[in-house]
Each structure stands twice: as structure tokens, then as C-alpha cells.
Amino acid sequence: MNIRSQNEEALLNRIRRAAQGTIESSRPRTFSLGVGDDAALFRPTTGHETILTCDWFLEGAHFLRQKHPADAVGWKCLARALSDVAAMGGTPRCFLLSLALPASHTGRWLNRFLGGLRRASRKFQCPLAGGDTTRNQKILINVTVIGEIPAGRAALRSGARPGDILYVSGRLGEAELGLRVLKESRRTMRGSDRRLRKHLYPEPHLVLGQWLTKNRAVTAMLDISDGLSSDLPRLCAASRVGARVHSARVPLLLISEADRRRGFDPLQLALQGGDDYELLFTVSRRSMTRIPKSFQGVRLTAIGEITRDPKVLLHREDGSEQLLVPSGWDPFRQV
Amino acid sequence: MNIRSQNEEALLNRIRRAAQGTIESSRPRTFSLGVGDDAALFRPTTGHETILTCDWFLEGAHFLRQKHPADAVGWKCLARALSDVAAMGGTPRCFLLSLALPASHTGRWLNRFLGGLRRASRKFQCPLAGGDTTRNQKILINVTVIGEIPAGRAALRSGARPGDILYVSGRLGEAELGLRVLKESRRTMRGSDRRLRKHLYPEPHLVLGQWLTKNRAVTAMLDISDGLSSDLPRLCAASRVGARVHSARVPLLLISEADRRRGFDPLQLALQGGDDYELLFTVSRRSMTRIPKSFQGVRLTAIGEITRDPKVLLHREDGSEQLLVPSGWDPFRQV
């Protein structure tokens, strides 16, 4: 734990040890080689395609050193990258961790971070296969996840057709509410606070994504990472279609009158709120009967339909319609 | 080019366009899907293992915004990650780019960066398959490379045996000399300066690595990224052996008397100098005849031998021996 005696070698060894359980506990034959060589070696499954995705998780942009528990940072950096695999219907196989941190954080902070990372790694059966560490004033994290899916089965963003029904899993806005509660707090919040659960410890819908693609029920799918108003236009653009969302059907949070007076509007949270990692998917009309009301306790709600007209519209209860303007998370907007 | 109108979507589109040539020009059937969906899809080759590696390339730590040409930053961030694939004997298939940069650098700087990246991508036949972008005050780069190698053929760090001969490709210290020249300069250097070539535009020894493993000539291999004195002990530790390096046999730079007076010592540059990306490998005594003096213009030099005693020693011309103390690049040393 003595920072001055830490070198990169020692740090890599600690990460390796922390990850060991996760590598050995799951599919030991997947790897010929784990952390510690020039690169990791992975044996692909015959007849499958490999899914590749990487995600930034940066102090200041994606989490706050003073407010986010290190354990949650470890969990979430992996969980959100896994969500991209879920959105294709894939099964995670392993991940690479690129970590840059100040020497002051190579002790207790790193241990807690690795604890959260290991829990997510075990829960979602995605062992650490390798990575890169370096020193930096700010904490920088980049996670690459490698997944697999039987060839030809992946759900893409580009498959939605006019007339398809638009579904969303779970309910939207919960992670955004948690983020706002956290920002208003004066100190590091406890990870156990229920309002923060989804913001701090999101769970990628891996099993749901696999089920939806295995049954070839979906025509297009993505995960909501930046808010419905930002992510739905991406699906529409990739599919060269538009959509009409019925505001009354969007599954919202129940919010106390007190919270409402503090300015929290459930529909706004749902449209702008990022980090929900719910699945947004389209289903042809004749396949609708194959989509249950809920899957393993997660609600599946039809919230609108795909249109030939490329506009993305929000249909209000009073019958009015307005363009759904992207208002979710975008790091490059309004510089 | 108007920064204020740039959002993440627009930026991703520019990167996609810049990469298009590289995806289409090489092995179009490898990908079912490139940049633009939740994740990339990759079709693995039957009978091959997948090689996975990721590398930080950070402003301030790995390059200087004011001194390193953007074109060289783009080239080098990919070239150095490819070197890890070369060190296993693999063939690169595609890469993921994680890029974080300030809004002020989304114009000309980004174009030049993408230009260098594209040249490396084409030269080493490794197309862009996906990635993640975000905004950050400092320029942050992380590159993940995916390669392949026939199952069971990869050269590991752990295969060296006592009695094996230790080889190195090329000559050592050239990149370090370039770095020092660059640091002493007052402004952004031109990438065309010959002394800087290896520091700015390193070339991963992919074909040499493939040839060495295909002929099953090597027992262990790694690439020298942090200097011989730092990387050789890693190979020895992984193989649980030691080594003796003969200082007179290490292929050094020819240095002018003037440079020598300025304090540049060729042996020190070779031992401490990082970024050479030469291959360090071991060969059993009976396989020595299979190693030519040079391969496609690159010198291959026997510089020492592997020992049962786990010490890593430098044998001087006067017959004296000293421990080879790791003195290369280590981001966590001497905080």
C-alpha cells in the first residue's frame, strides 16, 4: 500500500490478483492467456461472430471523484460497456481494462474500485483478460468488451421498418433522478441509497437481449445510454425511418409531490435522462404477440411506432405533436 | 469545421468517413458491421485464436500537444498497439479508437490526426471497426487492436529456457534519441526530420513476428516498448529464468562526437530508451541456424543468453558484470 514503492509492475500484479477469481471462475478454457503478456489470447466459438465495443468512463465527465463511491465506478465502467453487447443480443466473453490514475489513488480507492469491478465481472460472467495502466492526475478508464453471438443473429440499429412497433424495457428516468440527487448531496453518497441504485449500479439487460434476438422477434435494437430523445433518433437515422412516441405510454417514474415541486418532471427525466441502459427495440406488427408484458420481472412497453416520414415525433395526450429534439447527454453540444 | 455546431454525432460521422477507405480497402468480408452501431461485429477465422490488446496514448504522458505533430500522434497510437500483436506473431484484423479531445481540436488537429491514423491503418492493413468519442480538456487516446493467429502458435513471454540465445531486431536507442531532440526543440518539429523518424513513426515488426512464429523458431518474444533494461526482466520473470546481456553485442546507434559531448551515450540510450518497438526474442541453441543475420533489411542480433540463475546481468567488455536495473519508462516509479 506504500505509494512510493508502487511501480507499474506491482500495480499490474494487484489488478491481476484481483481479477484472478473472475478469470478462473468462468469458462477457464476460453483463454489461453490472461493478463500479463503482450496481449490476451481468446478462443472464439465456432459459428459465432465476435462483438467488439469500447467505452470511456472519465472523471469529471462520467463520474465525480468526490461523489461517486469507488466501488460504483468499478461496477459501472464494466456494466455500461456490457450494455452495448446486450443491445446486440450477444453474450460477453471477456474485457480489457485501461486504467490511468494518480499515485494517491493506488491504495484504498483502487481496492474498492477493483471490488466493484470484480462483482460486475462475476455477475455478468465476463472475466478480465488484459489491459494497460498508467499514471495520470485525473482518473481515466476505458473498457473494451468482447462478446459473441451466433453468426447472423445480432440485432442492429438499422433494421426498423415503417409500421414496426417501438418497445422499451423497464422504466426511464431513474438513473437521471439518482444523478441529480447525488449532485445535490454534499459528500460521497452511500452506494446503498435506494434512489441511487440504478445510477450507480446499472444492470445491462444481457439475458433479455439474448432472448429477443434468439426468438428473432426484434427488427432493430439499441440501449438507451444518453436518453430516449437522443437515442431514438439514432435508431431512426440508421434505419432511415421516423417514429412517433406516445408520451402517455412511456413508462415513467412515480415521483413524490415534494420531488415534483423541486422541479423533477418524470417525462423530462425519461426523455433527457441518460444512463438507464434500458433496451429500445422494434418489432413487426405480426410479431407483437411474441413480446410478453414482462420478461423476468422487467416490463416491456410498446411506446409508439415506426413511420415512413423520417421525423421523430412526440405525440402528447392532448393530441398535439412536436418534434422530439435530442436533449440527452452529448459531450460536444454547446461548447 | 465550426466548432460550436459540432456535436458527438457529427464528429463520429467525420471519423467514420475518414476511416471508410481503410475499412473498404482491406478484407471487406471480415466485418459484418463497422463504426456506427452499438458495437462492431467481426468474423473470426476458423482455427485461429483472437489476440486482444489495448494501449493508452495520453497527452502529457506519451506525447506533447505542442511538440508532436498531430499526424504522428495518429500514426503512433495505432503503430504501438500493433506492436503487441507483432510480439505474439499475429496478424492485425481491426482496431477500436477511443478518443477524447477539447472542442478546439476538432478541426485541423483532428483532420491531421486522422490522416496519420489512416496511413498507419492502410500500411498495416488494420481497419477501424468502432470506438467511442467524448470531450476532454486534454487529448486522451486509447486504441484496442484485434489480431489473429493460428491456434497454439502465439509466441509468449513465458517460453524462454536456460541456454536459449537472446536476440534483438534492429538497433536500440533511436526512438529515445529522437524524443530528446524533440524535447530540446522550441516548437512543433516537422515529422520529416530524419532523427525523429523512429520516435514519431515507429513501424511494428508484424511480418518478422509472423515469420519467427510460423517457423516455430522462437521460444519467447516481446516488443521493447519501455527499454531493454525494463522489458528483458519482464520476459525473464514470465519465464522464471535470468539472462546475461553482452554490452558489446547490443546493436547501438552511431552517434556523432558532438552528440556524445552533449551527453548522449549510445549504450544508455539502448538500455533506457523506450518506444523502439524492436522485437526481443529467445531461440534454442539448436534453432540458431534458422535465424538469419537480417530479415527484410532488419538486423537480427544475438546479444546474450538465458540463464537458470534468475538474475538479469549486463556483461561489460572489461569482463565485469552488473545487475541490469530497470531504468526505462515506468509511469509509476518515483512519485
Structural domain spans, chain B: 3-150, 157-323
Share of chain A above pLDDT 70, in %: 88
Classified by CATH at the fold level, domain A3-150 comes out as 60s Ribosomal Protein L30; Chain: A; (3.30.1330)
**Can you tell me the distance from the alpha carbon of B197 to that of B175, in angstroms, rounded to the nearest whole number?**
8
- B112-149 pLDDT, tens per residue? 999 999 999 999 999 999 888 899 999 999 999 999 99
Residue A187 has pLDDT above 80, yes or no: no
Segment A201-211, tens digit of pLDDT: 999 999 999 99
Whole-structure pTM value: 0.90
Q: Are B131 and A54 within 8 A, CB to CB?
A: yes
For the segment B187-197, what is each residue's pLDDT rounded down to a tens digit?
A: 666 666 778 89
Q: Which residues does B5 contact at the CB level (< 8 Å), separation at least 6?
A: none
Q: What is the pLDDT of residue B255?
A: 85
Min CA distance, B262 vs chain A (Å)? 30
- HSE-CB at B245 with a 13 A cutoff on CA atoms is 26
Quote the CA–CA distance of B218 and B288 in Å, as a whole number.
Answer: 10
pLDDT at B335 over 70: no
For A96, which residue in chain B has the nearest alpha carbon?
A: B54
Q: Is the pLDDT of residue A32 over 60?
A: no
CB A92 within 8 A of CB A147: yes
pLDDT (0 to 100) of residue A190:
65
Distance between CA atoms of B281 and B151, rounded to whole angstroms?
A: 20
3 state DSSP class of B85: helix
- Quickly tell me which residue has 478546439 as its cell: B104
The one-letter amino acid code at A69 reads P
Contact A147 B7 (CB under 8 A): no
* Cβ–Cβ below 8 Å for B52 and A44: no
Q: Which residues pair with residue B305 across a beta bridge? A: B165, B244
Q: What is the pLDDT of residue B190?
A: 65
For residue A40, list chain B residues with Cβ-Cβ distance below 8 A.
Answer: 51-53
Residue of A12, A52, A226 to mutate when probing chain B, most B C-beta within 10 A: A52
Best probe of the A interface among B6, B137, B144, B235, by most A CBs < 10 A, is B144
- Positive or negative torsion for Cα A246, A249, A253, A256: positive
Confidence of residue B24 (pLDDT cuts 50, 70, 90): very low
| d(CA A88, nearest CA chain B) in Å | 7
Give the residue-averaged pLDDT of B4-16.
Answer: 67
Q: How far is CA B108 from CA B59, B182, B324, in A?
A: 17, 22, 45
Q: How many CB atoms lie within 10 A of CB A121?
A: 29
Q: Which helix (H) or strand (E) holds B182?
A: helix B174-184
pLDDT of B28 over the 80 cut: no
Report which of B37, B7, B3 is spatially closest to residue B131, judged by C-alpha positions.
B37
Of B3, B11, B38, the CB nearest to A222: B38
Using pLDDT thresholds of 50, 70 and 90, give the confidence band for residue A3.
very low
What string of H, E and C letters represents the secondary structure of chain A?
CCHHHCCHHHHHHHHHHHHHHHHHHCCHHHEEECECECCEEECCCCCEEEEEEEEEEEECCCECCCCCCHHHHHHHHHHHHHHHHHCCCCEEEEEEEEEEECHHHCCHHHHHHHHHHHHHHHHCCCCEEEEEEEECCCCEEEEEEEEEEECCCCCCHHHCCCCCEEEEECCCCHHHHHHHHHHHCCCCCCCCCHHHHHHHCCCCCHHHHHHHHHCCCEEEEEEECCCHHHHHHHHHHHHCCEEEEEHHHCCCCCCCHHHHHCCCCHHHHHHHCCCCCEEEEEECHHHHHHCCCEECCEEEEEEEEEECCCCEEEECCCCCEEECCCCCCCCCCCC
Q: Which residues from B are below 8 Å from A11, CB to CB?
A: 332
| pLDDT at residue B25, rounded to an integer | 39
Q: In terms of CA atoms, which chain A residue is nearest residue B136?
A: A61
The closest CB to that of B49, out of A42, A140, A333, belongs to: A42
CB pairs under 8 A between A and B: 233
Gap between the Cα atoms of B149 and B53, Å rounded? 14
Say whether A52 and B129 touch across the interface (CB within 8 A): yes
Q: How far is A35 from chain B (nearest CA, A)?
A: 10
Domain B157-323 indexed as CATH 3.40.190.10: no
Q: Which helix (H) or strand (E) holds B305?
A: strand B298-307
Residues ≥6 apart with Cβ < 8 Å to A117 = A18, A74, A75, A77, A78, A97, A128
> Mind telling me how many Å the CA of A257 is from chain B's nearest CA?
36
Could you read off the pLDDT of B29-87 as tens digits, one per residue? 444 445 567 789 989 999 999 999 999 999 998 999 988 999 999 999 999 999 999 99
Angstroms from A67 CA to nearest CA on chain B: 19
How far is the C-alpha of A83 from the C-alpha of B89, rounded, in Å? Answer: 32
Whether ipTM exceeds 0.90:
no
CB A106 within 8 A of CB A144: no
Residues 6+ apart with CB under 8 A from B262: none
The model's confidence at residue A23, banded by pLDDT at 50, 70 and 90, is very low
Q: Which one of A138, A144, A229 makes the best mutation probe of the B interface by having the most chain B beta carbons within 10 Å?
A: A144
Q: Does residue B92 contact residue B124 with C-beta atoms inside 8 Å? A: yes
pLDDT category of residue A334 using cuts at 50, 70 and 90: very low
Rounded to an integer, the average pLDDT of B149-175 is 95
CB contact under 8 A, A58 and B90: no
Least confident piece of the model among A119-123, A158-162, A249-253, A328-332: A328-332
Contacts of residue B321, Cβ cutoff 8 Å, sequence gap at least 6: B244, B313, B314, B315
Taking residue B307's Cβ as centre, other Cβ atoms within 10 Å add up to 17
Closest CB to A96 among B46, B52, B58: B52
Q: Are A126 and A92 in contact (CB under 8 A)?
A: yes
Sorted by sequence, the CB contacts under 8 Å of residue B245 that are 6+ apart come out as B166, B228, B232, B303, B304, B312, B313, B314, B315, B324
> Nearest residue on chain A to B85, judged by CA atoms?
A39
Gap from A319 CA to chain B (nearest CA, Å) = 31
Tell me the CB-side half-sphere exposure of residue A121, using CA atoms within 13 A. Answer: 29
Residue B212's pLDDT band (boundaries 50, 70, 90)?
very high
Q: Residue B127: list chain A partners with CB under 8 A.
A: none
- Pairing between β-strand B91-101 and β-strand B140-150 as defined by DSSP bridges: antiparallel
The DSSP symbol for B44 reads P
Contact B39 A330 (CB under 8 A): no
pLDDT over 60 (residue A24): no
Best residue of A54, A135, A140 to probe chain B, by most B CBs closer than 10 Å: A54
pLDDT (0 to 100) of residue A6: 52
pLDDT in tens, B82-93: 999 999 999 999
Residue A30 pLDDT greater than 60, yes or no: no
Summarised one tens digit per residue, pLDDT across range A94-126 is 999 999 999 999 999 999 999 999 999 999 999
As a whole number, mean pLDDT of residues B321-332 equals 80
| Cα–Cα dist A285/A298, whole Å | 21
Averaged pLDDT score across all residues of chain A: 88
The secondary structure of residue B43, as a DSSP letter, is -
User: Model confidence over A262-304: pLDDT tens digits?
Assistant: 888 999 999 988 899 999 999 999 999 999 999 999 999 999 9
Contacts of B81 in chain A (CB under 8 A): none
Do B96 and A53 count as a contact with CB atoms less than 8 A apart? Answer: yes
Smallest CA–CA distance from A31 into chain B, residue: B49
Is residue A128 a contact partner of residue A36, using CB atoms and an 8 Å limit?
no
- For Cα atoms A103, A106, A109, give the angle at the middle one, nearest 5 degrees: 120
The reported pLDDT for the residue numbered A105 is 93
Q: Identify the pLDDT of residue B195.
A: 80
Residue at A63: amino acid letter: F
Q: What is the pLDDT of residue A263?
A: 84
Asked if pLDDT for residue B2 goes beyond 50, the answer is: no
CA dihedral sign, ordered B312, B315, B319, B320 = negative
From chain B, the residues in CB contact with A331 under 8 A are 8, 133-135
Tens of pLDDT, residues A305-322: 999 999 999 999 999 999
Mean pLDDT (whole number) for B311-315: 97
Please list every residue in chain A whose beta carbon sits closer than 8 Å to the beta carbon of residue B331: 8, 133-135
Mean pLDDT across A141-167: 96
